[in-house]
Amino acid sequence: MALLPQILPSPRLAAAAASPNSAFRPAPRLHSSAPGRRGRGARLATAASASGSGSSPSSPESYQPAESDDGLVELPLFPLPLVLFPDATHALHIFEFRYRIMMHTVLQTDLRFGVVFAGSGAGGAADVGCVGEVVKHERLADDRFFLICKGQERFRVARVVRTKPYLVAAVQWLEDRPPAETPAPGDDAEALATDVEALMRDVIRIANRLNGKPEKDVGDLRRGLFPTPFSFYVGNTFEGAPREQQALLELEDTAARLRRERDTLRNTLNYLTAASAVKDAFPSSPSSG
């Protein structure tokens, strides 16, 4: 569940609408690119059958994600107007024909596909995305699907393999790099994660107050997470700001991601504090609105 729905609202159910067929837009680089990982397993996961998925009326060609000679892995892609983070879950409604074909294939193989952000502006889909694994699905009588997917590893698109009937790309995996130098005191990932958690508590407290909700203990937001998975968890709460979420997903430095999240939360807290002060100074009359 999103922690900041009052601030950055967005629907939880993403409809699989029409999306760009081919070209990927080069994502803005917030850091120097690192060489792709090689030597990873040739498959994303062991092929698994999906119980209750049924057979496809269109009998799609069997597809197995495999590692190529250059170490890249082929992955079916689903452009969506949302950003999937590792360990986050999203509910999806699959109704467009080409993606129904893709889901039949995914459910008959390893249950995984790539989610890439495709906003409403021109330029196509982002070239950095996250693997989504189907954890629950329901196939409807008219061959639509409702499913829940969970984010796994991140990837960068290296090249498009094919565009029909749906996108397939060769991808390389992304992982956060360790810091090149010893960070200054208070600027290491652990200290930044502590700062971010404290800011989240303040933001939630004031947001609840502005929305007329009773103040209560927020609880443990960190939940024992290490800085890297916590930074993804925080980014997932920034609903309604998918381009900012995409920028966070693309970073390969945990400390840089946490610093950016800290800045965003500070700005949000300043805005909410000012809004709270205005509300206290000019309370609404009982007869208003």
The stretch 45-51 carries a mean pLDDT of 30
CATH number of 73-173: 2.30.130.40
pLDDT tens digits for range 143-162:
999 999 999 999 999 999 99
Q: Do 26 and 105 form a contact (C-beta atoms < 8 A)?
A: no
Rounded to whole angstroms, the Cα distance separating 265 from 262 reads: 5
Q: Of 90-104, 121-135, 179-193, give the range with the top mean pLDDT.
A: 90-104
- Return the sign of the alpha-carbon dihedral for residues 66, 70, 71, 75: negative
Q: How many degrees, rounded to 5, is the angle at CA 155 between CA 177 and CA 129?
A: 115
CA dihedral 151, 14, 124, 153 (to 10 degrees): 0
The whole model's pTM is what? 0.77
d(CA 110, CA 92): 18
Coil, helix or strand at residue 241: coil
Q: How far apart are CA 252 and CA 228, in angstroms?
A: 10
Domain with CATH 2.30.130.40 in the chain: 73-173
**How high is the mean pLDDT of the chain?**
80
CB 130 within 8 A of CB 151: yes
In this structure, what DSSP letter does residue 256 have? H
What confidence tier does 4 reach under pLDDT thresholds 50, 70, 90? low
pLDDT the model gives residue 249: 98
Provide the token pair at 248.
């966070």
Beta bridge partners of 92: 14, 147
Give the Cα separation of 98 and 30 in Å (integer). 33
Q: Span 65-72, mean pLDDT?
A: 69
Of 219, 257, 212, 216, the closest CA to residue 235 belongs to 257
d(CA 14, CA 12): 6
* Paired sense of beta strands 145-162 and 128-139, if any: antiparallel
CB 147 within 8 A of CB 52: no
SS3 153: strand
